[in-house]
Structure 1
């Protein structure tokens, strides 16, 4: 099934570290051409250099997913360079954990902007292209926190990931047959996500919880599994956790 990844054009947001970086490198090793978007140009440049040094194909564009025009620009550069896109991975996300009573509305706004609107902007940019092509694959990064509320402190974060799950399922209903939709819902994974929390007490709890984290490469393999299936097979949902995680 590896040939179902080879030469596919894959656009990845949040690609400068963690799940995005590992997924980019893993797919490139399998022969995909990856187009990477994130805010940190130095990180993106290094990842592209690492991929190309090993004979892979990659390019990047600085992208803030809260800016609709920048997400559109990332998709546009992929189409301009390669004539199409096959897969869009909506990976960018943040997770500032704090009790609701802290009323950190700026953090709530940021989570909504990145975790929900960032996914919607990705869909908006790629969907017309997929419809014109008659093919395409959306892969949206959710969380086990979008299946069970991560509490205490993760109520708003869970709300954003419940939204991603609903959007993914609704999108599948609307554009299925020729366009595939997958939601990947990881538990604790070693990435920079845990660094989003500024509330001191919550940060202690998050860091303790993440001691059981599995490598980001585990998620990259799950993403590759969804992509490499034949065109008539749509892997709609993958949930993966550390074996030690009890929720």
Structure 2
């Protein structure tokens, strides 16, 4: 993976699941990883793990719902390593519910993390990438950013939005050699279901976990997208378990 070695990668949602797995895979392939999440202890442990494996990682506690903190993250990455090659907007939450339940706080939280967090990340790194006229922004959407089911209305809405935002970004920044990738995972073993408050929905999600892919499957898809030659942009990847029907 020669086109990964030495690249500076900023990764949100790095404290668990897809983020944690991606950090390890990229560091093992020579990337310099800037870990971002809210849980400092987990970030510290992940950095220690990467260090022990001979990789390079630093971390900064970051809440992606704060554009000031995301700007500070980008500045920290650039000050530490002198450049930002890749941003992976991975932070996301999934408190599913039916619309009639009117769980407004959960709706707002999903919009703030899943949509605004992506926008804040893009806005934070673009100045650095545009100066160098190169870079790569990877946004994690979902299979539910392609299809909609009951109880997924708001979550799917945020993930459809991620795809729309990324396509507009691709068109706007192609002239600056900034690559874009949308990663849409299907069922994956993560902590996303932990905060679902509707017991019926949570039980259904937990049942679906029986066929779920390990987070490393998505990490390797991200690695593939980054590792392509600079003149090749892998714009969208959908990754499902083979026996997932939707």
Give the TM-score category using the shorter length.
Answer: over 0.9
Aligned-partner Cα distance in 1 for 2:89–2:197 = 24
Kindly provide the CA deviation profile for residues 72-131 of structure 1, in whole angstroms up to 9, marking residues without a partner as x. Answer: 111111100110010000000000111111011110000000000000000000011110
Summarize the alignment of residues 81-96 of structure 1 with structure 2, pairs less than 5 Å apart: 81-96=80-95
User: How far off is 1:183 after superposition?
Assistant: 0.4
Q: Structure 1 stretches of 5 or more lacking a match?
A: none
Give the Cα separation in 2 of the matches to 1:212 and 1:152: 20
Query: In 1, Cα distance between the equivalents of 2:122 and 2:95?
Result: 24
Superposition pairs for residues 1-247 of structure 1, below 5 Å? 2-149=1-148, 151-177=149-175, 178-247=177-246
Q: Supply the distance in 2 between the matched residues of 1:27 and 1:17 (Cα, whole angstroms).
A: 15
Distance 1:169 1:57 in 2: 31
What is the Cα deviation at residue 244 of structure 1?
A: 1.4
SS in 2 for 1:246: coil
Task: Return the offset for 1:200.
Answer: 1.2
Moved over 6 A (4+): none
Does the residue aligned with 1:92 lie in a helix, a strand or coil? coil
Gap regions ≥5 residues in structure 2? none
Structure 1 distance, partners of 2:92, 2:174, is 25
Q: Distance in 1 between matches of 2:82 and 2:244?
A: 43
Q: TM-score, normalised by structure 1?
A: 0.98
Distance 2:208 2:108 in 1: 25
1:194–1:210 CA contact under 8 A, matched in 2: no
Measure the CA separation in 2 of the matches of 1:70 and 1:26.
Answer: 26
| TM-score scaled by length of structure 2 | 0.98
CA distance in 2, matches of 1:208, 1:55: 38
Per-residue CA deviation, residues 131-154 of structure 1 (Å, 9 max, x unaligned), is 0011000000000000001x2211
CA distance in 1, matches of 2:190, 2:222: 16
